[in-house]
A and B are shown apart, each in its own frame.
Chain A
Amino acid sequence: MADLTQRLFGTQWQSPVLLASGTCGYGEEYAELIPLDEIGGIVTKAVSLEPRSGNPPHRVSETPGGMINAIGLQNVGLAAFIREKLPWLRDNLVRARVLINVVGHTEDEFEAVVAGLDGEDGFLGFEINVSCPNVKDGTLFGTDPAGLAGLVATLRRATARPLVVKLTPNVPDIGLYARICEENGADGLSTINTFPGMLIDVGKRRPVIGNVSGGVSGPAILPMGVYLTWRARQSSSLPILGIGGIRSSDDALQYILAGASLVQIGTALFVDPEVAVAVHRGVEAYCTESETPLRELVGGVQIPDRD
């Protein structure tokens, strides 16, 4: 029997597979399509202090091997999230873990969302989004070492719950940011958010996306995500949630071997909601065949000597 269980962030995980922020709403929408309580968990759409209305359309479009999106973090805001969304998560997910993705324009706003949620039931911890390319200040903290250090330290004081920081790929050295998170008290890292990109309609000679630029996701970014996960692993000992382009168990295993303890699936859910369970089963089969518990595969890539 394969052993997929891991003890991370002070809790037991039955599966390494989570659904990525922004691609599974607040869980409820996929409840009838995905047996959520059989997978590792979900990360909610970003929650901000005030509701946000988001960007003008088009907000999404296909790109080679993936998609581009500029939703603009449209969300119901903290108060409505607690009132309307959190109860469903609390009442329906028992074994699956819930991380709440948090955004803010300022350190105070991030802190207010974390503090406002801290005393509520129905979730495990926070994924701090300092890496959204689709709003003006979305990567402000994620690309400024001093700003990131201050933010993580502040949020660490605001909550004892697991604090995971979701990093942007759009920096010269992701290792630096991984270390800053660790030094300032974060419990984990999510690598990676989308890559900034642009798509032009040559017939109209206009950008396809209403926001002009957007974030690129899907299979096209898989190798970059695997690499950046591996780089983050070199610089920090925090558990990592690997994200970017996963649509099969082989993809997930690449992240795991590169150093991720858990993985998240985003864009591929739009193509086939069953991919989440299929990835879980495939990882299970790999562990069975190699007679290795999942936790021993984490970071297990063998790098040959190069001389």
Chain B
Amino acid sequence: MNAPIRDWAEVREIRRAADETWWVELDSPAIAGRARPGQFVMVGLGVEQVAAPFLPRPFSVGLAGPDRTVGLLLREFGAGTRRLARLRDGDRVLLLGPLGQAFSVSSDRPVVCIAGGVGLAPFLFLAAEQRKLGRQVRLLYGERTADRVFSSELIEELTGVAPIIYTEDGSAGHQGLVLAGIRPEEEPALLACGPTPMLQAVARLAIEHGLPLQVSVEEHMGCGIGTCQGCVVRSASGEWIKSCTEGPVFDARELSWPT
């Protein structure tokens, strides 16, 4: 495994992409050059200040651009992400990355990405790469309501893929949960990233239909590099395993899913 890179990166651009949701481009050629879809970076502000975020926050690499930038999809959640959302062009953040395991994609099955909320981020990167290789990707993307939906023009601009959008109230795209977009009979390889209840539902469906599934999980993190044991999730055999180094992308069969 390549060692992670520590890099003070300049914000090249931050633009609003939906309600409380931002697309951030950071100038970090070293990290952009090494990142793979599914990997993440820790984003912090250094030790000189102690306001949130004091601990760096994990973010999926949303794109590692040809112009050597790292793109992040940033949604305001608590104090730390609200502060990061106030970054301006030219500000600097301390990055550590790329970290963790990437999605693995092979060409022998159609790939279906199932994104819930900011779980969209790694699939922007993945879809853009797959498109470049001339492969088809179905990108199913769910949000609660229309105002939360990450601009589909921006998604197409970044990836070349048109997302299939679902909202719970039907205010944008199809009404319902993203799950409805999965067509098991096509025997797709499923990739999922989003809230835990969504991952559980996708896992049930994958098991029922015998479909391969990789999930990207979220857990609170300290170090991001495997030293603090802070970020554990339960493995299929009942052990606590580190999501920062063994994940965040897991084969769904490696994890334990409540029944």
Interface residues of A (CB under 8 A from B): 22-25, 29-33, 45, 53-54, 56-62, 64-67, 69, 71, 74, 218-220, 247-248, 267-275
Contact = CB atoms under 8 A, between A and B. Distances in A.
A1 B224 CA distance: 37
B181 to A, nearest CB: 30
B170 interface: no
A272 B55 CA distance: 9
The SS class assigned to the B binding surface is: loop
Interface in B202-259: 219-233, 239-240
A275 B224 CA distance: 16
B47 interface: yes
5 contacts: A22-B228, A53-B240, A74-B240, A219-B50, A270-B228
Given A270-B56, A270-B223, A33 B4 contact: yes
Nearest to A74: B229
Given A69-B222, A69-B228, A270-B222, A62 B4 contact: no
Contact of B55 (A22, A45, A247, A270): A270
Given A53-B239, A58-B219, A60-B221, A66 B227 contact: no
Report the 9 A-B pairs with minimum CB-CB distance, sorted nearest first.
A32-B3, A25-B227, A60-B230, A247-B47, A60-B222, A65-B50, A58-B220, A29-B227, A59-B230
Nearest to B46: A272
A275 to B, nearest CB: 5
Interface string B11-36: 00000000000000000000000000
Contacts of A29: 223, 225-227
Interface residues of B, number: 32
B232 A54 contact: yes
B54 A65 contact: yes
B94 interface: yes
A205 B39 CA distance: 32
Given A33-B4, A57-B233, A271 B228 contact: no
Nearest to B79: A62
A22 B228 CA distance: 6
